[in-house]
Structure 1
């Protein structure tokens, strides 16, 4: 036997077991692409199924809209009201409060740590009596719809590992993101739009960079990665047909390409080939579904009165919140918004005012809009960043100015709908908003609870990679039962 022939025989032996399963795999692929034995590719597409045959527990939520406030919003300037900070404004943070806790390199060498009281007034709102800063008047109006978690804490002290930790369960890049895990486990409820969609907006203040790996699939099939929708006439790159190509030509090209890929799949059994075929078909269907989802011409003026006129401008936070509602109506499983610009090391009073102005109205409008359309009960809305801010000033404290460093020990996240308790505050921080004194919630606890609300046991949704089984919460995480309705 010649060397080339021996090579192919060895290759075939290596792939023998995977090729045995292609009879079943081709049926699954046919269902994914919406084909039947008579009509072939491109028939009536069905929603993609996830790896789970059934929910582990009865789900409360069908979908998630995650309003991620990148940079670390200051909890004591927005939601965690602490009169002691006003009483001791300008005095040193007691050494007993800070203890031996790690500080970032930006403040570790400060000679003093003067407490900085917020420059904003707080009031209690709704029957729940939630304390909210006057920076967030619209959020204050929906206080009885929100579940405030005051005791979120994380292990990461810098932006990139902290955001990566929240989105993937690890500070090290390379793991699948939350949306990818949900796509892998639960699949899609809409065959014409991605299961996991990402929207970006930015404030005016020195935003930290955001990386596409935050919505990456990691070691899961590439089918499960997030799809970024951009502002402008081309919201999904390379989705439109090239000039001179009509729909029929594109369909013919895809059919022939799918034939080639299917033959390749039969030869090698590589699951990434299945993903490639499915992605081509999804892109073809998205040529119609994406323009429909982004076309706001059917929205009444009352919608823009609710979200604000900024919602008419693609790419703004308000426009992305409105688009998130439209995607929720179309049963997109996971919509991830990132709003950049909350990293206020200096000039915090001016900069946080700008950030709040950008986000407050639209965040509240989204919750109200979902509720009036009957979608809030089964849509989980999350608002929060990767960590909080220090109660002491970074650098010089003046009469009308201060900055705050990163603070992973405690910060505030709110949730609404999707099976969470409305109108409650969970957890308690000390009188300085520095340490947790009751009901701590770790990042892994938050992730476990999110999966639980969607009917998934975080310990049972796993993927074997490089000899071990991975999960979103690694080997940690407890469900926060106190926030469940």
Structure 2
């Protein structure tokens, strides 16, 4: 939209609220009161905010923990074994398999596409007999708790649009993130913490991996109160959480009360919903001064729990620490917890690099499942693990028996899910002998989103937000449920 028209649209909406007298402002102040601005204190177990009529039907899950593996893990090294490729090492990938698939600029100039078998072995685990790599000994112990999808696919072939697609349902930046959609529709169960929390970590596999952007957990055109709150890895988890020197708790409360009065006066004049967001966030920040230090203090966790998450758990900012924090957030009623773990973009030196990544992620991911289960939280928590696309069967650059790299591959890759509403011990979907094309049960990004929302009691076609004259939704005009993975 033209910037001038955008400004005029905003002015018109504000003038409408202003002219509508008590009606619009009463509704807005009612919303602020419902979000806990009139009083403080936790309401864990009792919903605050959300849309009337949502959930649309009985939910199986109350919350989501999304373990996003940024950079794209190689499915062939972790989840989708192709032992028949050992005899084809170095052979050019047949044209009948590639079938004209578009390539990235990193391998489009290669004269050949040599097949690179994985150097890692697979075994069957659990009563389900799920095949997992030797790189995942801890996940092997919870194989009967997860559904493994080997037939994911995406439209995107480069990192930024692919990650954006998984987080927002669109390859083009600017749409609300999945966590924002959920908190907009379902509200929260704790006034003292953000309803949507983001945690990031950098892997040991590759230090200079693809960057992350705040817009990946942004609210897009949905009100900004629904955007994710990123916790920092050092110092205060959230900036300016500590009172300045010389300012005590009572003084801070008095300052906020005066500021709120001024903001409410401005709100009454303009009807600008962003002022309401500002009031809400100031109040939340004040309450977080107490709730966040308690949340992030893991010193009282039993040694048995810390040992379960592994040797990195005591290091703030590590994947292990963030997994434990995710459990602590879940038990406090936070609706959506998003972990981003970087380091999976392994175009070269993949066998060594992926070993570092699985050192970071294998034990903590399995521990999170076990920890939630022993606390009774796995029954109403949905866990999702996966990256933005997969990796090619052919090597990028030089191929040796011990060393190779893999380019981006959107046609097939793996994700796993566990917890509420998910079948246990199921391997879903099938790829061809080259792990290049899907043979059975393809699952698109929109299908995954639709299924996630369904488990949370939401019909993905009915959770919408009107913007610029159109009803938008997370799944756009696509998305089908995947009953084969749903309990």
User: If the length of structure 1 is used for normalisation, what is the TM-score?
Assistant: 0.95
Post-superposition offset of 1:85:
1.5
Post-superposition offset of 1:198:
0.3
Post-superposition offset of 1:66:
0.5
Match of 2:347 in 1: 345
Which deviates the most, 82-91 or 244-253?
82-91
Does the CA contact (< 8 Å) of 1:19 and 1:267 recur in 2?
no
Q: Distance in 1 between matches of 2:387 and 2:405?
A: 17
Which deviates the most, 320-329 or 12-21?
12-21
Do residues 15 (structure 1) and 15 (structure 2) align? Answer: no
Picking from 420, 426, 439, the partner of 1:437 is 439
C-alpha change, 1:212 and 1:86, in structure 2 (3 Å) is same
Post-superposition offset of 1:44:
7.7
Match of 1:145 in 2: 145
Picking from 412, 415, 418, the partner of 1:413 is 415
Q: Distance in 2 between matches of 1:267 and 1:42?
A: 26
Do residues 253 (structure 1) and 255 (structure 2) align? Answer: yes
Q: Distance in 2 between matches of 1:429 and 1:479?
A: 20
Post-superposition offset of 1:25:
2.5
Which deviates the most, 459-468 or 16-25?
16-25
- Report Cα offsets for 1:219-263 as digits up to 9, x if no partner: 011100100111233110122211111110111111111111111
Post-superposition offset of 1:410:
0.3
C-alpha change, 1:44 and 1:397, in structure 2 (3 Å) is closer
Equivalences for 1:4-153 in 2 at 5 Å?
A: 15-17=18-20, 20-35=23-38, 42=40, 48-153=48-153
Post-superposition offset of 1:17:
2.7
- Report Cα offsets for 1:129-157 as digits up to 9, x if no partner: 11111011101111100100111100000
Match of 1:229 in 2: 231
Does the CA contact (< 8 Å) of 2:168 and 2:177 recur in 1?
yes
Does the CA contact (< 8 Å) of 2:17 and 2:25 recur in 1?
no
Equivalences for 1:158-197 in 2 at 5 Å?
A: 158-197=158-197
C-alpha change, 1:285 and 1:344, in structure 2 (3 Å) is same
Does the CA contact (< 8 Å) of 1:32 and 1:47 recur in 2?
no
**Unpaired runs of 5+ in structure 2?**
1-10
Which deviates the most, 84-93 or 158-167?
84-93
RMSD: 1.7
Match of 1:275 in 2: 277
Does the CA contact (< 8 Å) of 1:19 and 1:266 recur in 2?
no
Q: Distance in 2 between matches of 1:318 and 1:223?
A: 28
Q: Distance in 1 between matches of 2:268 and 2:42?
A: 24
Post-superposition offset of 1:52:
3.5
| Matched residue SS, 2:379 | coil
Match of 1:5 in 2: none
C-alpha change, 1:297 and 1:17, in structure 2 (3 Å) is same
Post-superposition offset of 1:14:
7.3
| Matched residue SS, 1:105 | coil
| Matched residue SS, 1:72 | coil
Q: Distance in 1 between matches of 2:47 and 2:193?
A: 9
Does the CA contact (< 8 Å) of 1:106 and 1:405 recur in 2?
yes
Do residues 471 (structure 1) and 473 (structure 2) align? Answer: yes
Post-superposition offset of 1:327:
0.5
Q: Distance in 2 between matches of 1:18 and 1:297?
A: 52
C-alpha change, 1:216 and 1:12, in structure 2 (3 Å) is closer
Q: Distance in 2 between matches of 1:67 and 1:346?
A: 24
Equivalences for 1:237-316 in 2 at 5 Å?
A: 237-316=239-318
Post-superposition offset of 1:47:
5.2
Q: Aligned pair count?
A: 472
Post-superposition offset of 1:30:
2.1
Q: Distance in 1 between matches of 2:161 and 2:240?
A: 31
Post-superposition offset of 1:167:
0.1
**Unpaired runs of 5+ in structure 1?**
1-7, 36-40
Q: Distance in 1 between matches of 2:41 and 2:30?
A: 14
Picking from 446, 457, 460, the partner of 1:458 is 460
Does the CA contact (< 8 Å) of 2:460 and 2:473 recur in 1?
yes
Match of 2:427 in 1: 425
Does the CA contact (< 8 Å) of 1:64 and 1:379 recur in 2?
yes
C-alpha change, 1:187 and 1:11, in structure 2 (3 Å) is closer
Does the CA contact (< 8 Å) of 1:18 and 1:269 recur in 2?
no
- Report Cα offsets for 1:142-200 as digits up to 9, x if no partner: 11001001111000000000000000001111111000001110010111100000000
Match of 1:366 in 2: 368
- Report Cα offsets for 1:287-342 as digits up to 9, x if no partner: 00000110111101101210012101100000000000111110110000000000
Q: Distance in 1 between matches of 2:162 and 2:16?
A: 45
